[in-house]
Amino acid sequence: MDTIKVGIVGYGVIGKRVADAVAAQTDMEVAGIADIIADARMEIAKKRGFPIYCSIPDFREKMEQAGFDIQGYLEDLVQESDVIVDCTPAGIPQRNFPLYEKYHKKIIVQGGEKHHIVQASFSTFANYVDCLGLDKIRVVSCNTTGIARVLAPLMAENQVKDVFVALARRAADPVRTNRGPINGVVPVLGISHHGPDVVTVYPELAEKIYSLAVAASFTLSHVHMIKITVEKPMSRDELIELWKKYPRIIVRRGKEGLHDTAQLVEYYRDLGRPRYDRPEVFIWEETIDSDSRGNIYLIYDVHMESIPIPENIDAIRAIFGTADIHKTIEITDRALHIDDSKYDYSVPFPGEKKRQS
Amino acid sequence: MDTIKVGIVGYGVIGKRVADAVAAQTDMEVAGIADIIADARMEIAKKRGFPIYCSIPDFREKMEQAGFDIQGYLEDLVQESDVIVDCTPAGIPQRNFPLYEKYHKKIIVQGGEKHHIVQASFSTFANYVDCLGLDKIRVVSCNTTGIARVLAPLMAENQVKDVFVALARRAADPVRTNRGPINGVVPVLGISHHGPDVVTVYPELAEKIYSLAVAASFTLSHVHMIKITVEKPMSRDELIELWKKYPRIIVRRGKEGLHDTAQLVEYYRDLGRPRYDRPEVFIWEETIDSDSRGNIYLIYDVHMESIPIPENIDAIRAIFGTADIHKTIEITDRALHIDDSKYDYSVPFPGEKKRQS
Amino acid sequence: MDTIKVGIVGYGVIGKRVADAVAAQTDMEVAGIADIIADARMEIAKKRGFPIYCSIPDFREKMEQAGFDIQGYLEDLVQESDVIVDCTPAGIPQRNFPLYEKYHKKIIVQGGEKHHIVQASFSTFANYVDCLGLDKIRVVSCNTTGIARVLAPLMAENQVKDVFVALARRAADPVRTNRGPINGVVPVLGISHHGPDVVTVYPELAEKIYSLAVAASFTLSHVHMIKITVEKPMSRDELIELWKKYPRIIVRRGKEGLHDTAQLVEYYRDLGRPRYDRPEVFIWEETIDSDSRGNIYLIYDVHMESIPIPENIDAIRAIFGTADIHKTIEITDRALHIDDSKYDYSVPFPGEKKRQS
Amino acid sequence: MDTIKVGIVGYGVIGKRVADAVAAQTDMEVAGIADIIADARMEIAKKRGFPIYCSIPDFREKMEQAGFDIQGYLEDLVQESDVIVDCTPAGIPQRNFPLYEKYHKKIIVQGGEKHHIVQASFSTFANYVDCLGLDKIRVVSCNTTGIARVLAPLMAENQVKDVFVALARRAADPVRTNRGPINGVVPVLGISHHGPDVVTVYPELAEKIYSLAVAASFTLSHVHMIKITVEKPMSRDELIELWKKYPRIIVRRGKEGLHDTAQLVEYYRDLGRPRYDRPEVFIWEETIDSDSRGNIYLIYDVHMESIPIPENIDAIRAIFGTADIHKTIEITDRALHIDDSKYDYSVPFPGEKKRQS
């Protein structure tokens, strides 16, 4: 197969990052992006050189008047693509399915969509092999991706008996200035969807994971406080060493000038990361703790805007079957410059073996 | 004994509330308040008619120039008092101890002080009987008070095997406008002090409770996400019924227009509560959940400014031995108008029996 | 005339305060309040003993199931009332007008409504006399009320040549937790409506007042930075003395522990003000400045939730012609406990003479 | 002269940006950076390849243990440099002066320092020519830079009679997570320093400019609401055209998806700007307004972290006399990639002629 042609529908917080990430790979290319916006956000697509399509005919004139060269409508983009990554707001992808299916295109949707509308939910570390060759999958959301990553090293070599995760969620992405609260905390009134969502990629955690969540007045990232109980107790040092060698996981000490999420953002701004993105889960090393009963505790940061981006790239390779799990992780990460000499790309992943049947 | 004369040292967020609460009781009175401030905050003490003392001689002139009638220095207040409730910033009470001890006065300090500097840490529901007649006790902090209250009904009649509490903390009281963060989340880098602090009043929870905490950009209250594992599983309905009958605990549904902490504040503003205080723990009923393995989950609100106030009043009665646990709770709550016909003041409390030896 | 029967439609941020303020007067009473909510907010009306009406028939069952004793529908309340104060969200009052007019009732709407739908916009200090006996008036919004008050002493005895006001607006009331921004500043893209709105009550300021505004991440109050140019220059001391004697205006120094809006809130919480309301404009004395060219500068706080409440009460008296301007201000303020011995209720007001023809 | 060797003392919010900006020029180079930090912030300097010096000997061991190769102490850096740009916290540069003077080095300090400790305050557009060849100058602060830029086109060709600027200030830089307020507005109690500070670079505005300021709960940028009165009235269209052709000023419509400061940040993140910096003043076009009396109104954004960076580069050329005003602006801007084909680098600047004597 030649390079995979990826059509990206919805050029928002996730879509624009998927587009850049696809463009950074050598085995895939951006067939085009489709949206209806005609403002400064779309300038970015134009500067990147992505072919621009109009998702809804009524908006074409406005887009053209704003100076965008429209290549065609959504249906045209679908025909030009081998796979569609639909990043439109929740609920819309499902309405687009008939169009994608008309042309027998593979489909990837994001974590805001319902699990039951696809063949499988996907998270690289958790269930890559299970998704090989499928036609319609869903990359789980930012928080679920974070949990799936943190659990992966433990699930690969131990038995996770119980997980309780408490999420302090950013109430709005930075750009969503119409959303609050400005001061206050909004609890999710019941079990949050995160626990059950993890089960879609780790079915063996059914009945073993519970999640509670609150949203509050910050925009930079989600922060998880988690308690994991494993079969075989592990020492704090073993845990640190374990997580450190896994890709897409950073373990650093807050004392290194990374005390909080704002200092994290500052570091990645300084580092020159595009959009200060940190697609890695960031674990504060000082918070890792464990006891002789198999309980493990830690706090980590989940950058909601970028964390599922590497998984979207892997998802494309999974459904076309063009790489095994270790290879896709390494290729993706090197292309996104989130690899590091500390990582061991040969570590075991739960997702390297069949787990759902 | 006649009315107990209470000297309040430090007229800040806690001190001013303790003063009002003491003034509302019939068996105690405000001997005076001592501080060094000479601004609008002190006007309140004057309007309330509390005798004002100057804590540090250098500030007397400034206070008098600002129009405050100074009754004397801290040492004078100590002599006028039967007990001192020291509400000054952390670290200062210990420096005041020699002065209080010189006149053989009983002493109550707040949760910011170290446990080891007093004879016992105190939380009414947890260990009232253990503190009867002591001379120097510490009322545990807002978060610990909240946890102690929520656990009390379970500990009275069941066996709590394990507790994990994740705290989303307000980063600053509303009036502390110099403190941040403005946008961002600050994790406590390691086990937070809350778990170990609970053990000071529930010693049987040693090794059984763990806590993680983050602070963020809100000022209204702390919110706890907790998992409690008990010996005998309880249904969700049993739990709701149980907590509802305990004083100082409110169980209401978020759907009743109380979805978040800001809506809670609005409700108590409307209700006419002084300073919109809610000394009760507020549990969102929808979040109460349980399973057949004895796990219990819930989210509750802890109003840091007011929650330890009833316990301070009880603490005074405990050290003078003037009321039993059921009586002090009822008297305090009625005087503070936080009683309700829903409450059953004869419920069992862990603190009604000897628990430390 | 006996006591004026006031029907309050919409029991939200403004409506609930108007209801309490009406109930506090001796010459008027709450005929009832009408709304469609059936949650904790409505409990307050019940506790206050206000007759509750259902604004939209479909909601009656829900309200009754929630335990509220419904006296009838909106039309019934209209018949029971001498005047309707409609405090529903912008746009709705106008749709209710035919119903109010069917029964020939006087009508008061709030500042969110358009000026042209009423006979006159109203602000006590500015144009009380002009509104005597009218049937349908609009009490100007919080920010306009604030500006009208601050300008009143100058307009009564001097000539205001030019006004430029820059508003830092709270982006959402505390209870509107769905609204942002969480971090960021949102400018009004063009002249803000405040300048032109002031002209509806001070027509002589046409072409002389301009306003710019930004909204940002705070909920406590609006803050205005204003430059006023007057014909006859006044010294800083004269200005301080002038504003201090006017009712509904507080001039205090920030150095008195009132440095910022959060410290203001704390003070009024401590003081025991219902809902910590401060219907007065609060001027930071240190910011008052002037020069020999007649320029005056200052910064003041506008508590958006409560500032137009006294004006609503005055408005009722204006349209029934039951008090002159000096008398209504004094009666209203004493009933609301916002009077003070510093105030001189005989000061001249622009609104004591005919200004529109 | 060969390339100018620039020593940067203090590697914080400003220092790290000055270092990157110097490194981007062809006529200057980074001699080294000096600081005492040994954490993640210093990693950036190491990654950039800047020679690292230790400002205070006591910290050298800690820095070396953290893996940084220390080239020497502050005094060594001074000797290696032709000019020192001191970006340490306010008050420290003055204490460093004797060391810099010992080696007869030219000195540039930032806007937090006092005007009187240097020979002149500097802002390119305002007074470049006045600073040619000086030895010790101060680049004015972010807000003053913003005002100086916005006024420049008017002052070059018109006569500015009066300026009133009201600032809504970000209360803390994003990385300063210890600073508040979280919710609330903090007024500057009196004239803010910005007006007088503008006079240090535009002496003809003495007695003609006034400023008021509030700080509030946001971190992204300052926003100014300004009224400028000029001798010869200008139409809105003329103003837009005028500002658009000036470098370092962007005039765009909020309606283009740039409604607020958070959307601005998003745009510059997407654009790939290092640290999402926007050293340009950003004027919301819709807010530009004017009248026939010469009054001009507008709202603009000042990115406090990056706006004075181009001026620091120009300042270096000014004191060495290596470029004229038009040339330095163009060179600096092209190197920083903030030039644009819209700009006309031959426009007149007030600072191209002698203005102080």
Q: How many other CB atoms sit within 10 Å of the CB of residue B91?
A: 10
Q: Which two tokens stand for residue C125?
A: 């200090």
Name the residue in chain D with its Cα closest to that of A177: D262
Tell me the pLDDT tens digit for each residue of A145-185: 999 999 999 999 889 999 999 999 999 999 999 999 999 99
State the distance between the two ends of chain B, measured CA to CA, in whole angstroms: 28
pLDDT for the residue D50: 98
Chains in touch with D (3+ beta-carbon pairs under 8 Å) read A, B, C
DSSP code, position D209: E
Residues of A in contact with C169 (CB under 8 A): none
Verify whether the Cβ–Cβ distance A47 to D256 is below 8 Å.
Answer: no
3-state secondary structure of C158: coil
Strands D4-9, D83-86: parallel, antiparallel or unpaired by DSSP? parallel
C-alpha distance from C38 to closest chain B C-alpha (Å): 8
Verify whether the Cβ–Cβ distance D212 to C287 is below 8 Å.
Answer: yes
By C-alpha distance, which of D268, D177, D186 is closest to D219?
A: D177
- Residue A216 identity: A
Verify whether the Cβ–Cβ distance A179 to C179 is below 8 Å.
Answer: yes
Chains in touch with C (3+ beta-carbon pairs under 8 Å) read A, B, D
The rounded average pLDDT for each run of 10 residues, N- to C-terminus, in chain C (357 residues) is 93 98 98 97 97 98 97 98 98 98 98 97 98 98 98 94 98 97 97 98 97 98 98 98 98 98 98 98 98 98 98 98 98 97 96 80
Verify whether the Cβ–Cβ distance A217 to B216 is below 8 Å.
Answer: yes
pLDDT for the residue C158: 86
* Rounded-to-10 torsion of CA D264, D268, D274, D275: 40
Q: Which two tokens stand for residue C34?
A: 């009408």
Q: Give the one of C174, C257, C271 whose C-beta lies nearest to B39's C-beta.
A: C257
pLDDT of residue D329 exceeding 60, the answer is yes
A–D CB contacts, 8 A cutoff, strictly below: 80
The DSSP result for B13-44, as a single string, is TTHHHHHHHHHT-SSEEEEEEEE---SHHHHH
Q: How many other CB atoms sit within 10 Å of the CB of residue B357?
A: 5
Q: How far apart are CA D13 and CA C355, in angstroms?
A: 55
C-alpha distance from A299 to closest chain B C-alpha (Å): 7
Digits of tens for pLDDT over chain B (357 positions)? 689 999 999 999 999 999 999 999 999 999 999 999 999 999 999 999 999 999 999 999 999 999 999 999 999 999 999 999 999 999 999 999 999 999 999 999 999 999 999 999 999 999 999 999 999 999 999 999 999 999 999 999 889 999 999 999 999 999 999 999 999 999 999 999 999 999 999 999 999 999 999 999 999 999 999 999 999 999 999 999 999 999 999 999 999 999 999 999 999 999 999 999 999 999 999 999 999 999 999 999 999 999 999 999 999 999 999 999 999 999 999 999 999 999 999 999 999 998 765
Length of chain B: 357
To test the contact with chain B by mutation, choose from D178, D182, D265 the residue with the greatest count of B C-beta atoms within 10 A, namely: D182
Residues of B in contact with D181 (CB under 8 A): 177-180, 182
Q: Please identify which residue in the block is written with the tokens 């500043």.
A: C185
pLDDT for the residue A357: 54
- Chain A contact residues (CB < 8 Å to B): 164, 166, 168, 181, 183-191, 207, 210, 212-214, 216-221, 223, 225, 227, 253-255, 259-263, 265, 284, 286-287, 289, 291, 295, 297, 299, 301
Q: Please identify which residue in the block is written with the tokens 């000479």.
A: B38
Q: Give the one of B174, B180, B218 whose C-beta lies nearest to D178's C-beta.
A: B180
CA angle C328, C329, C331 (to 5 degrees): 60
Q: Give the one of A44, A260, A266 whose C-beta lies nearest to D270's C-beta.
A: A44
Q: Give the one of C181, C186, C219 whose C-beta lies nearest to A183's C-beta.
A: C219
Verify whether the Cβ–Cβ distance A184 to C177 is below 8 Å.
Answer: yes
Residues of B in contact with A225 (CB under 8 A): 166, 212-214, 225
Residues of C in contact with D221 (CB under 8 A): 185
Q: For residue A224, which phi and psi values (nearest 5 degrees)?
A: -110, 135
Q: Give the one of C191, C225, C261 whose C-beta lies nearest to D166's C-beta.
A: C225
Tell me the pLDDT tens digit for each residue of D212-238: 999 999 999 999 999 999 999 999 999
C-alpha distance from A276 to closest chain D C-alpha (Å): 7
pLDDT for the residue A215: 98
Told to judge if B54 belongs to the known catalytic residues of this protein, a careful annotator would answer no
Residues of A in contact with B190 (CB under 8 A): 286-287, 289
Cβ atoms of residues B139 and B308 within 8 Å: yes
C-alpha distance from B336 to closest chain D C-alpha (Å): 29
By C-alpha distance, which of A208, A249, A207 is closest to A231?
A: A208
C-alpha distance from D16 to closest chain A C-alpha (Å): 8
Inter-axis angle of helices D309-320 and D15-23, nearest 10? 60
Tell me the pLDDT tens digit for each residue of A247-296: 999 999 999 999 999 999 999 999 999 999 999 999 999 999 999 999 99
Q: How far apart are CA C1 and CA B188, in angstroms?
A: 66
Verify whether the Cβ–Cβ distance B260 to A287 is below 8 Å.
Answer: no
Verify whether the Cβ–Cβ distance A210 to B297 is below 8 Å.
Answer: yes
- Chain D contact residues (CB < 8 Å to C): 164, 166, 168, 181, 183-191, 207, 210, 212-214, 216-221, 223, 225, 227, 253-255, 259-263, 265, 284, 286-287, 289, 291, 295, 297, 299, 301
Q: Give catalytic residue positions of A.
A: 142
Domains of chain A and any CATH numbers: 4-140+308-335 (3.40.50.720), 142-307 (3.30.360.10)
CA angle C97, C101, C106 (to 5 degrees): 90
Q: Which two tokens stand for residue C172?
A: 């959402």
Q: Give the one of A39, A175, A265 whose C-beta lies nearest to D262's C-beta.
A: A175
Verify whether the Cβ–Cβ distance C37 to B256 is below 8 Å.
Answer: no
Cβ atoms of residues B269 and C173 within 8 Å: no
Q: How far apart are CA A280 and CA A233, in angstroms?
A: 26
Q: Give the one of A175, A258, A265 whose C-beta lies nearest to D174's C-beta.
A: A265
